[in-house]
Amino acid sequence: MEQDIKIKIGSALLIIGISTFFLQFLFVLSGFGPIISIIMALVGYGYLLKGLSYRNRGLAFIISGLCFIVPLVVYISITNNSAIVWADLLITIYLILIFFSILIFILPGVYFIYFSFESDKKEYRGRLISWLVGIVIMTLFCTTILTVAGGAIASSRPGVDFRSFFYQNFMNCLGLGFLVGILLIGLGILSVRAQISGTSIPMGPS
């Protein structure tokens, strides 16, 4: 019964979030509305996954991954056959997004389906895959911020453009983004545990 409630709540939040986002996108509305819609959709997606069985959860992950990967493959074919400025940079970014989509959705989906027939240590495996997805998402988020910020700073210098900065420094930004992502997740876990135990995280000498 509890699983059914999670599925219903998750489906409702997901549908409302996606619908309101596209409505705001079509009418070109600004402000915090689109952000709230995205957060609502993500929360609904999480609730929906929590209510599904491991096998169906894996299928949901794979379908979600394909919803990202297929359009990116189409964009690559279109960009590759056009005279778009910086087409090579766009294609590289698309390939990176496909790689991250595979790590975030496809591999966890296959993992859930493969282990859905075994009852031992399901909870442990679920936590393990949650760690993987969380670290990959935080790595992508932090890497994007570092790359864009660094590229913007580098582009202000004479003789340097964003494309050259991207190709020369992306791997460094990826490694730094991975470290920052793990650090943020670790701090978040420590903060939650501190709140549960009624203590606080030491921030330095008093």
Residues 6-58: pLDDT tens digits? 888 888 888 888 888 777 766 656 566 677 888 888 888 888 888 888 888 88
CA–centroid distance for 142 within its chain: 11
Say which amino acid occupies 63: I
Supply the pLDDT for residue 203: 47
Tens of pLDDT, residue by residue over 95-153, are 999 999 998 899 888 888 887 665 555 566 667 777 777 888 888 888 888 888 888 88
d(CA 68, CA 105) in angstroms, rounded, equals: 9
pLDDT (0 to 100) of residue 181: 81
Region 172-183 average pLDDT = 86
Residues in Cβ contact with 189 at an 8 Å cutoff, skipping those fewer than 6 apart: none
